[in-house]
Amino acid sequence: MLLEKNKIDTLNDSLYSGHRKRFDFIAAEVNNIDAVIKKLSDFQVAIPSWALGTGGTRFGRFPGRGGEPRSLEEKIEDVGLLHALNRSSGAISLHIPWDIPGNAKAIKELAAQHGLRFDAMNSNTFQDQKDQQHSYKFGSMQHVDKAVRKQAVEHNIEVIKYGKELGSESLTVWLADGSCFPGQLNFRGAFQHTLESLQEVYDALPDNWKLFVEYKAFEPNFYSTTVGDWGQSLLYANKLGPKAYTLVDLGHHLPNANIEQIVSLLLMEGKLAGFHFNDSKYGDDDLTVGSINPYQLFLIFKELVEGMDARNMNHASDLGWMIDASHNVKDPLEDLLQSVEAIMIAYAQALLVDESGLKAAQASNDVVKAQEILQQAYRTDVRPLVAEARLRAGGALDPLQLYRSLDVRGALVKERGENTVATGL
Ligand code: LRH
Ligand code: MN
């Protein structure tokens, strides 16, 4: 479904005067307002191809209204729709084998028509495919059987091949590998096998590619995970080489982990790959970004802005900004629109932090002043700034309102049917 520009213009015209008032009010408070808006317009979040349908849990999946994408082409159309609405979703991250491009050239052209590029590719050695020779029941790259490890390495090299054809420049490896009971696994053996396997994948990377090592505390293994936390992931990344980095999925931490401190140190080490943004209250809940703990998201972006500026990094292009969520009760596209909005708001708030004032407060241990400076930015309603960035980039002032007023889901159901189910989680 293509979104006509005039539909966006009509909505924007109806919302413009209110927006202008709110924008002028906040803009009066912000130094270098145009630079801030430019940074927001340049910032693009990659949409996961595996989160365009209704997800579920082991207790079941409750279908949505339907109209889910039936193919990679329709997934690209849906991400194109999101990007037309908010002009901040200019990339898609594919998962193989859920999204094998039949004709890579045609897929690349279709994505370009929607203004989309291909972000990190994702391999999958956490499920057994029907025609697979060896099972990953007891792991993939950690497996005691060399043949299983070899199969996992070959799959990742195949994923790189697809990525090269599509213009992607990075591979995310998330390994479900681990153990469910004490005694089941030799930790050193599992680490060494995994490192050797990752090294073979690393050696197959094109020169300009990056390898993202994604860690996770638990699930589907519930006693140990072989890439279980940022320290273990950093160990792998340091041993593999300069093209290997650590990927931070916000939901992959133990309760109350200080993720903003982890981010600050990985950035300091030049080993931060990027993010899988989502939110959670307990485990890897994969909920809408900013729906449970928006202050933590702000604190993470505050460390990102300060750390990236300290290394003269380009905010828009030097890290991988991706969402990784699953939608059990919301319309997938509405959920993703809310997630992108939450990310843009946290980034805008972080850009408003008085960094020099904060440094002065820290230097004089003025703890109260430091908190006041942070919360001044966090408590600033930056939504007009994010909306203005969308407007200047040709997007909708209120993407969700337009998505609903045009009944986009209804049109997708008419086009695709009620019972279509997208591949993915
Ligand atoms: C694992 C994970 C990983 C993906 C999968 C869909 O929990 O976060 O990034 O491969 O979700
Ligand atoms: Mn993830």
Q: Is the CB–ligand 1 distance for residue 284 below 6 Å? A: yes
Q: Looking at 158-221, which runs of residues are DSSP E strands?
A: 170-174, 178-179, 210-214
Q: Is the CB–ligand 1 distance for residue 334 below 6 Å? A: no
Cα 413 from chain centroid (whole Å): 27
pLDDT tens, residue by residue, 293-321: 999 999 999 999 999 999 999 999 999 99
pLDDT tens, residue by residue, 185-204: 999 999 999 999 999 999 99
Smallest CA-to-CA distance from 403 within 341, 344, 333 is with 333
- The pLDDT of residue 423 is 85
- The pLDDT of residue 191 is 98
Using pLDDT thresholds of 50, 70 and 90, give the confidence band for residue 1: confident
Domains of the chain: 5-416 (3.20.20.150)
CA of 393 to the centre of ligand 1 (A): 31
Residue 7 in this model has a pLDDT that exceeds 80? yes
Residue 47 in this model has a pLDDT that exceeds 80? yes
Q: What is the mean pLDDT of residues 369-394?
A: 98
What number of other Cβ atoms are within 10 A of residue 100's Cβ? 15
For tokens 């029941």, the residue is 137
- The pLDDT of residue 39 is 98
Concatenate the DSSP letters of all residues of 39-98 into one string.
Answer: HHHH---EEEGGGSSB--BTTB----SS----SHHHHHHHHHHHHHHHS---EEE-BTTT
- The pLDDT of residue 2 is 80
CA of 276 to the centre of ligand 2 (A): 5
Residue 32 in this model has a pLDDT that exceeds 90? yes
Beta-carbon neighbours within 5 Å of ion ligand 2 = 249, 276, 324
